[in-house]
Structure 1
Amino acid sequence: MRISSRRLGVYTIALVFAIVMNFTVPRLMPGTPVDAMIAQLGSRATPAAIEAIKARFGAVDAPIATQFVDYLKGLATLDLGVSVKYYPQTVVAVLSRSALWTAFLVVTAILFSLLVGVTLGAVAAWRRGGRFDTIVSPLSVVMIAVPPVIIALTTLFLFGVSLRWFPVGYAYDPSLDPGLNFAFVGSVFFHAIMPVLTLSPYLIGEFQTTMRSSMISVLGEDYVTMGRAKGLTSMTVMFGYGARNAMLPVLTNLALMLGAVFGGSIVTEIVFNYPGLGLTLFTASVARDYPVIQGQLLMMTMATLGANLLVDIIYGLVDPRLREAAQ
């Protein structure tokens, strides 16, 4: 499936805009990383220590034009600089470690929510007007409306603090050595249950409402009537004929929701102390760590644009009409 030049142009403009904003937004905050590091030293901030800090991180106090040129040079060479908060680690090292956890959390939540939301939407459309539909559909609207921070705090207090069913923080048991073994992998999934359950309600609600609307329109098509006339089972007609052809709007909605998913993951990771990009962004913001903030925002922007591009490609592959239009 070919992507039109106009569509690629939109992605290019969005990427350029993101690069400029990623450079500009962190510098709108009061203070600089150098000031923050000097303040942390307190009484230990001797003239020699201050000069050493300025010599190592003086670039953040350079003129804006100089900083922007250095920023573009770093992007061209994939050198995002050295972290102020996690010195002497590089920004790439810090973000690559955090990105793996965020990717695991977001992908797990999307797959789980897609399975549940699509199934609920298909059944609600098949039984529209019935008891199942009258319960599930309004509940989905409520799930969309509740902010992730409310769900995160409620989940943390109820299942983590009060009932103590799940751990209240981090990505795995610190007493375990990371590795491909059952104990470590099981601990990772166990610690991810509450963060995933926090991200999922919004996604499930969106998938359910989109799938229900699309499914209702598909159920009136001739091929669905033909499937029923053949004497096929309700499950076969519902999922094999109806849900399969009603998935296209769900894919489109998924692409539109990716920004909200990453935004929700930031809040979720902060509440559960989950070592992903969201928690890294929070700690970097407090420390005025411009290199990490820039790199993290750029990474999430590129991930969102890349995922949207992937959805466009998949959409063209599953919809024959788009393939014919491209040809």
Structure 2
Amino acid sequence: MRYLFSRFGFYLLAFVAAVTINFFLPRLMPGDPIQSFLGRLAQNGGQITPETIASLEALYGYSTNTPLFQQFLTYLQSIMTGEWGTSTRFFQPVFDVLGRGMLWTLLLVGSYLVVSYGITTLLGIWVAWKRGTWVDSVITVGSVVISSIPAVVMALLMYFIFASDLGWFPTSYAYDPSLDPAMSFEFIRSVVYHLALPLLSMVLLGMGNVMGMRSNMINQLGEDFIVMGWAKGVKDKKVMLQYGARNAVLPMITTFAMSVGAIFAGSLIIEIIFNYPGLGQVMFQAMLARDYPLIQGYLLIMTIMVLGANFIADLLLFVLDPRLRTELG
């Protein structure tokens, strides 16, 4: 338990540091949300008066006349109370705007984690078992080449080839706009159809995990307990899956936790290119509008997810790895 409490304390300090950066980072950007809103208001023929500016500053909790430290204290209070402010871009509570985008991002990222890590883990185990053969050479070289393509290039290639030119997949949205959201076969099929190409792009970008699993598996195959299993006449399938793969998967848990931030960053690019209505689209529009409350809300959610994933990984390692419990005990 001492180990778990120490890890929890570490992630709590990391959260405080991330929240501090989250507050100051948008304010280092040029411009401010009030001026951005006033610019759009002026373009639409609206009147700008001192009373209008004062009302906007009161509504969005941002004022150039308020000391930065006081703004920071107000921001911390809003986090604790769940009042994340109002979006200057969508004129709605930040929590509501992020909630709509979160649903589709979690669907995309969750599908990616299941499909990608399932495929790369099985492929890594297989090519390690077949190391030195043509299967090993083709799959390892291919996975490295594919995963080395930048996310934006991969997404654009998939978009222009399969969506724009061939027309096999839709070019935008999470489902057919003519359908009403409901738990019907037609709606679910439309969601899967619109998800397929963004998901395929992310899965291809994650093929580099094959090399990580392959290396872990090869290291396990050289351990004494593997040699002992063969010496006792244990079947190859049991040695590969129950002896080798079971232990080789443990480092992949840490790798997964450390890559959560990169996964969401990659999904942001994918969502923008495919016009997928997730958090990536929300963040993109928030940055264009200098929407401080929405940017801060997005970064806060990402912070919670990344730290939460790492803490869960620590818990899983503690439960699954008896060597860690013995060392800490």
Return the TM-score normalized by structure 2: 0.93
Matched, 1:16 2:16: yes
- Kindly tell me the number of residue pairs found equivalent between the two proteins: 324
Aligned to 1:40: 40
Aligned match of 1:78:
82
The equivalences for 1:179-218 within 5 A come to 179-206=182-209, 208-218=210-220
The answer on 1:275 being equivalent to 2:253 is: no
Which letter does structure 2 place at the counterpart of 1:80?
W
Aligned residue number for residue 295 of structure 1: 297
User: How many percent identity over aligned positions?
Assistant: 43
Aligned position for 1:105: 108
Secondary structure, aligned partner of 1:165: coil
The Cα shift of 1:229 comes to 4.7
d(CA) in 1 for partners of 2:157, 2:293: 34
Q: Tell me how far apart the structure 2 counterparts of residues 54 and 30 of structure 1 sit (CA, whole Å).
A: 21
| 1:96 maps onto 2:99 in alignment | yes
Whether the 8 Å contact between 1:211 and 1:247 is mirrored in structure 2 is yes
Is the Cα–Cα contact under 8 Å of residues 82 and 291 in structure 1 kept in the other structure? yes
Runs of 5+ unmatched residues, structure 1: none
1:174 equivalent in structure 2? 177
Asked whether the equivalents of residues 110 and 203 of structure 1 are also in contact (C-alpha less than 8 Å), the reply is: no
Report the alpha carbon displacement of residue 21 of structure 1 after superposing the two structures with TM. 1.0
Cα offset for 1:189? Answer: 1.4
Q: 1:194, 1:53 → 2: CA distance?
A: 44
Cα deviation for residue 215 of structure 1 reads: 0.5
RMSD over aligned Cα atoms: 1.8
Mapped partners of 1:143, 1:75: distance in 2: 41
CA contact (8 A) 2:257 2:309 kept: yes
The CA deviation string for residues 259-293 of structure 1, in whole angstroms up to 9 with x for no partner, is 11111011111111111111101101111111010
> 1 CA distance for matches of 2:232 and 2:194?
48
Q: Deviations over 1:140-187 (max 9, x none)?
A: 222332111111000101110111111111111111111111111121
Shift of residue 136 of structure 1?
Answer: 1.2
Distance 1:54 1:150 in 2: 45
Q: Is the 8 A contact 1:112 1:200 kept in 2?
A: yes
Provide the C-alpha distance between the structure 2 equivalents of 1:91 and 1:155, rounded to a whole number of angstroms: 32
Relative distance call for 1:216 and 1:77 in structure 2 (3 A) is: same
Mean CA deviation greater in 134-143 or 158-167: 134-143
Cα separation, 2, equivalents of 1:272 and 1:127: 38
Q: CA deviation at 1:321?
A: 1.1
Matching residue of 1:146: 149
Write the distance in 1 (CA, Å) between the matches of 2:8 and 2:298.
23
8 Å Cα contact 1:74-1:80 kept in structure 2:
yes
CA distance in 1, matches of 2:122, 2:138: 15
Q: 2:307 aligns with which of 305, 308, 314?
A: 305
* Alignment partner of 1:125 out of 128, 142, 146: 128
Name the SS of the counterpart of 1:164 in structure 2.
coil
Following TM superposition, by how much is the alpha carbon of 1:237 offset from its aligned partner in structure 2, in angstroms? 2.8
Deviates more, 1:147-156 or 1:227-236: 227-236
TM-score by length of 1: 0.93
CA distance in 2, matches of 1:13, 1:300: 16
Distance 1:183 1:310, change over 3 A: same
Superposition pairs for residues 199-238 of structure 1, below 5 Å? 199-206=202-209, 208-229=210-231, 231=233, 233-238=235-240
Deviations 1:74-112 (A, max 9, x none): 01101101111111x101111111111111111111111
What is the CA distance between 1:209 and its match in structure 2?
Answer: 1.0
Quote the Cα distance in structure 1 between the aligned partners of 2:3 and 2:95: 30
